[in-house]
Structure 1
């Protein structure tokens, strides 16, 4: 099974210049550009969740990694994060900690919500490891290093 195709800018930034200029231009033209015109928080989110949605969405749009098709994925992340935080609150209550069955139930729910949250976060590029896959390395634009072997070159009179 082959790898997922990387954006052409990432291929060039990594120094893999095995493509011709025509191939590079073709890939640039054929790459899907994210559409960010109409990104709004879904109506099924609470006011607090909508605020969180707008904060995260604006950051992802600035990074150029979110489009209109990612709206539901971000909403699922926010909902699962909310449910996870609620489970954590429940587990901290003394009456829950005293009852083994209730503690077990909330602990299982917390684990499920955490896994959902982590999966959604990874899909959206919100985790460190998923961002590492998205980052385009910056090209160092310093002056080229001097060739240390230049002094050993024989100069021929032409």
Structure 2
């Protein structure tokens, strides 16, 4: 969706604006904004060829299915998701090795691994935010569903 003129904020999907009840837009303006929004097609996307590890490819497919379910998945995102899976895997590996170094009493090695762990975390977190894989980012992408009204009992 194109940014609003003279607006420093990122555009919010019109369905989110309507669901929040904060709209002053006419029905015609709402439809015009909906038409301007990008809606990716849900297609099956295989991991990139350079991702050879079977476990990482399995993770890639699982996360891709979850992203497709919330409607933020497109073929162009395959490399970005592969980078996320790699960064997340690296974070897990550095965390395990850092704990082992601490158990052995090697504080210097643990500090070195902690710096590497922090870099991997920041990479994974940045990509996760772009995909809407944390609560704050997801609320900007996915329309919150209003709670269903329960029928009142008639006495």
* More displaced stretch, 97-106 vs 58-67: 97-106
Work out whether residues 128 and 134 of structure 2, in 8 Å CA contact, stay in contact via their aligned partners in 1: yes
Give me the whole-angstrom Cα distance separating, in 1, the residues matched to 2:114 and 2:104. 10
TM-score when normalising by structure 2: 0.79
1:67 alignment partner in structure 2: 74
2:96 alignment partner in structure 1: 89
Give me the whole-angstrom Cα distance separating, in 2, the residues matched to 1:94 and 1:7. 47
Gaps of 5+ in 1: 144-158
Greater CA radius of gyration, 1 or 2? Answer: 1
CA deviations 1:55-104 (Å, max 9, x no partner) are 01101101112222222221111100111111112112258843333222
2:61 alignment partner in structure 1: 54
TM-score when normalising by structure 1: 0.78
Give me the whole-angstrom Cα distance separating, in 2, the residues matched to 1:118 and 1:107. 16
Give me the whole-angstrom Cα distance separating, in 2, the residues matched to 1:90 and 1:38. 35
CA deviations 1:26-69 (Å, max 9, x no partner) are 22222111133252211111211110010011011011122222
Give me the whole-angstrom Cα distance separating, in 2, the residues matched to 1:113 and 1:97. 23
Gaps of 5+ in 2: 1-6, 151-155
